[in-house]
Chains A and B, each alone.
Chain A
Amino acid sequence: MVLPDTLLFAMEAALNGLLSGVMYALVALGFVLIFKASGIFNYAQGVMALFAALTLVGIQQGQVPFADLIHALTGVEMHGFGWTLPAVVAIVLTGIVMIGMAMVIETLILKHLVNQPPIILFMATIGLAYFLEGLGDTMWGSDIKAMDVGLPQGITGWIDESTNSLFGYGFYVDQLNIVAMVVAAILVTALTLFSQYSKQGRALRAVADDHQAALSVGISLRFIWVLVWSIAGFVALVAGIMWGAKSGVQFSLSLIALKALPVLMLGGFTSIPGAIVGGLIIGVGEQLFEFFVGPLVGGATENWFAYVLALLFLVFRPQGLFGEKIIERV
């Protein structure tokens, strides 16, 4: 089959856009989850992903937490425990750390903010974001680290070959993006089933809706909050692993949260499938826009395309594609 070069390049760009959209969606998922379950827009979600990635690398490579601080205070120099743990063990340990973090967040912050308006809780998460960023820095150092948990990377052979035999031009698709797609699919299925069909899922939605009413039917807010933040921590860990493997564990990772915002505005803040679809639209849109319009305006359109799209959505459909329309009886 002979297709014009431009079309082939556009197809390749769209395919890669789809897959990098999944990466955005992974971050957006964490936001949706906490928002759906507790009505809080968790500004710290991106930083949580960074923190999880830092912790994972630190544990895996046997880094001593707070090494610089210990050195400054006591003069004791400790560089590392001298082990390298298998990836699975490190992931499980990091998961435990994230659950511990959920408990601390509940005890120190959420418990004191019962029945407060969402804006107060939102402000609290801004504080949390800055605190976590500082904590991650102090614990693990601010140098860029490589994430190696054994995820495949590089060109995907079968896509290259099959497109080559079909069109006479092989598409370049990173294996990591394929893995991200599979991971995202599993995550979304599990989370949707959990929140729609389980007892805890119902309790979770109840708490998000009305604290007082939830208490009156015997739901422990403490348990639910720890549960929600643990799950959000877990989603952050997954996002941290994928992004860390893609671009290294560095502090700019916390900024990927910014890319999640337009995704959420498109998909709607309350919809898990919305986060995925929003991510895909932004991923593809960004690539195609850069491909077709980029050369005309001097390139680098992917820096702003997503935000302009989100702005248009805010004007014409503020609840997003899949969000719940807010019903207000007067």
Chain B
Amino acid sequence: MNDMSQAAPTADGRKIGGVLMEMKNITLRFGGVKAITDISFDIREGEIRAIIGPNGAGKSSMLNVISGFYTPQEGEVWFRGQRRQPMKPYEVARQGIARTFQNIALFDGMTVLDNIMTGRLTMMKSGLLAQALWWGRAEAEEVAHRAQVEKIIDFLEIQAIRKTPVGRLPYGLKKRVELARALAAEPKLLLLDEPMAGMNVEEKEDMSRFILDVNDEFGTTIALIEHDMGVVMDLSDRVVVMDYGKKIGDGTPAEVRANQDVIDAYLGVAHD
């Protein structure tokens, strides 16, 4: 396929590094149904990588493989130069891979602030006893993490709702809180499952800006799934195109747009 052969700075001067994550010949089956068939691609450090495709193409399944929610029957997952053994989702999260969900998975009963603080749980070191007894170290740690979380709250412009229970928020803001929680973990790789689904134009623009800013300011590597082609072409450095569980295209937005298979998958093809 049209893989970029080496690291290259993008037009706007961001640095794209070496391979951070590599999927090698991934096949995922549910019973007799193949959700993903023999797909390989890589994600480079610092880039925004999009996975696109029509409904049911296997995009979310792919994201679930990366984040450990699904274990593929065949293929290898390489992360930071090492082959990853089959892992539980919480272990993957502890390795520095944070994610958001297509249908939003937040803790509805907790405040925005508490939700975002959960993102930092894996970074808190104080033991159970120290925490339970609220000894100095645990308190100092909590304060430090709180400061980081406040930065993220400012960054995503959700100061006004920080004490609001998440269950009361409108959809667009929930999506933003979910992004904040994922960012709080300071991930090496950030997975976004349809970050703009169900949003109006204005909300989509906001979200696009946040994604770009996150990538720009923190240098976070991002892999995202999105339906809105315009958004994908504007945001991403490279795009993987999936259809019926197979990879049909891979390259820069311009290359993908010119790819005949991709055009056929999206617009349909005449059978004769």
Chain A residues with a Cβ under 8 A of chain B: 190, 193-194, 197-203, 205-206, 208-210, 212-221, 227, 324, 327, 329
Contacts and interface: CB of A to CB of B under 8 A. Distances in A.
B54 interface: no
Interface residues of B, number: 37
Contacts, number: 98
A203 B121 contact: yes
Interface stretch (B12-20, B44-52, B97-105, B249-257): B97-105
Contacts of B128: 200, 227
B118 A202 contact: yes
Contacts of B131: 194, 198-201
A219 B132 contact: no
B129 to A, nearest CB: 10
Nearest to B94: A218
Interface in B41-98: 67, 69, 88-91, 93-94, 98
B167 A197 contact: no
Contacts of B168: 327, 329
A216 B115 CA distance: 12
Contacts of B134: 193, 197-198
A205 B110 contact: yes
Contacts of A209: 106-110
A198 B128 CA distance: 8
Nearest to B166: A209
Contacts of A206: 107, 110, 118, 121
Interface in B116-139: 117-119, 121-122, 124, 126, 128, 131-132, 134, 138
A202 B121 CA distance: 8
Given A198-B134, A200-B131, A202-B114, A221 B107 contact: no
Given A199-B121, A199-B126, A202-B118, A210 B99 contact: no
B109 A217 contact: no
A217 B107 CA distance: 11
Nearest to B105: A213
B132 A202 contact: no
Contact of A217 (B88, B98, B138): B98
B181 interface: yes
Nearest to A39: B109
